[in-house]
Structure 1
Amino acid sequence: MSLQVIKKFRTRELTAVLKTKRLQLAEKAPAVPNPFIPRLNPESGRWAPPKYSLRQQADLVKHAKVSNTLHLLPPGPKLALSELQAVARPESDIEPWSQAIVWEGEVKEKKVAGADIGNRLYAGRKRMFKGHKWERTLQKRTTKRKWLMRGMKARIMRFKTTYKRRRPSPLAPARVTGKAPKLPF
């Protein structure tokens, strides 16, 4: 299945090139426009978007990794040039769709902060900007809780002694004040 996807991609992209440049194929690899990167139209001066979207590129890269044909794909945003160079290429390619091709166009690799450690989302940020409110305030609450728990024994003893002092003794005579108690209404 994965090999068929890669074969279909290659034949679709190389059909015109293989027909017109069949004689040159034996001598050197033909240059083909890279469908993974945007191209500048020389006539209008406008940029045309890539032929394959980032999602389609990612799917092709996944299929190529499964079928061990990563060397047949052009470099792009989802497949860095360094990854392609690290892949071992087979020595003999018998089929015309698996011939060596030179892809035209320059792929600019973006340097993403935190990609080397696997934390691209929050690299270089002081605090996280997503999540539930309880997740964002969790650290502050735990530090406050730890601080309060340090003096908890003294706080409990203070409360118990204060409560004992307020409570009237059942054996002591009742205090009589000169005024009658006020009614709440």
Structure 2
Amino acid sequence: MAATATAAAKAVKRFRVENLPRQQLRAAVQTKHTNAERPIVKAANPFLPSQIAYNGHWVKPRYSLRRQKELVKKAKMSGMVGLLPPGPKLSVQEIEAARLAQTVSARPGKLQDWWLRPVEWSAEPERTKPAPKVDTPTQPISTLSVSSVDEAQQQAKARLRQERAALRVKRREMVQEAKKCGLVAMYIGRKRMFKGHKWERVLADRRRKHRILMRDMAKRVQKYKSFYRKRRPSPLAVPRANNQKLPF
């Protein structure tokens, strides 16, 4: 049992070390070591989804529900529930109740206990999508105005984000205008139309072939019947040759 509790404590410690801002927390511990019971650093919650800043896409949580449940079990086994962030498998009330009865805490003045310091986890999914800058003109990047390759790459990424934001805003306005006019807004502002199903794409060619076949159907039927009528042997005619061979 002791070995199991030790392994569970190591798993919780590994989780904290991997997901906490190590440098910021160590610097905060050195400057504010007296406030050992107060959260001094904000950390992203790996149990909740997050939103990418420049395009607004949502990213899945870093830890799945199965891994979250395993961590909660290990934290309860080792008495470290108060060190985990809130999530679908662990509520804020459970964390607060566990902190009151928690026996593991950081020692004052000990820098090696930085991972035990309380941090402020985000209790809701992070929404970091900023307002798009549509009016900002996108100018070509000149190699004379940058001092390094990294700076040029950053400027190129920033310009691409601005252009994409401007296109999204423009398409949103076009969709609103189309809806007001009673038009279908599915194809508004798209580079290519919706491809549709295979039978929809080949329907025009199939109908054209059907028209051609039905137009000449009488002629084709007559040709078919006359062709096989000529090839049909007559029972009164004399056979041209008798090449029958016996099997013995």
Shorter-normalised TM range: 0.5 to 0.7
After TM superposition, what 4+ stretches of structure 1 lie above 2 angstroms from structure 2? 20-28, 89-92
Determine if contact 1:31/1:103 at 8 Å carries over to the other structure. Answer: yes
Could you tell me which of 15, 19, 28 is aligned with 2:23?
19
2:45 paired with 1:34: yes
Change (3 A) 1:21 1:8: closer
How many angstroms does 1:86 deviate by? 1.3
How many angstroms does 1:105 deviate by? 4.3
Q: What's the counterpart of residue 6 of structure 1?
A: 12
Q: What's the counterpart of residue 114 of structure 2?
A: 96
Richer in helix (by share): 2
Q: Tell me the distance in 2 between the aligned counterparts of 1:53 and 1:44.
A: 23
1:79-137: CA deviations, max 9, x gaps? 01111111124484131111111112416xxxxxxxxxxxxxxxxxxxxxxxxxxxxxx
Instruction: Write out aligned runs for 1:31-110 (5 A).
Output: 31-87=42-98, 88=100, 89-90=102-103, 92-94=105-107, 95-106=113-124
Determine if contact 1:33/1:105 at 8 Å carries over to the other structure. Answer: no
Partner of 2:106, secondary structure, is coil
The TM-score, its normalising length taken from structure 1, stands at 0.52
Q: How many residues align?
A: 105
The CA RMSD over aligned residues, in Å, is: 1.8
Q: What's the counterpart of residue 191 of structure 2?
A: none
Match for 1:93: what amino acid? A
Match for 1:35: what amino acid? P
Change (3 A) 1:91 1:11: closer
The TM-score, its normalising length taken from structure 2, stands at 0.40
Q: Percent identity?
A: 35
List alignment gaps of at least 5 residues for structure 2.
1-6, 33-38, 108-112, 126-248
Q: Tell me the distance in 1 between the aligned counterparts of 2:103 and 2:54.
A: 39
Q: Tell me the distance in 2 between the aligned counterparts of 1:58 and 1:91.
A: 21
1:25-67: CA deviations, max 9, x gaps? 3435100000000011111101110000000000000000000
How many angstroms does 1:23 deviate by? 2.3
Match for 1:8: what amino acid? R
Determine if contact 1:6/1:60 at 8 Å carries over to the other structure. Answer: yes
Partner of 2:121, secondary structure, is strand
Higher relative contact order, structure no. (Cα contacts within 8 Å, ≥ 6 residues apart) = 1
Q: Tell me the distance in 1 between the aligned counterparts of 2:52 and 2:66.
A: 24
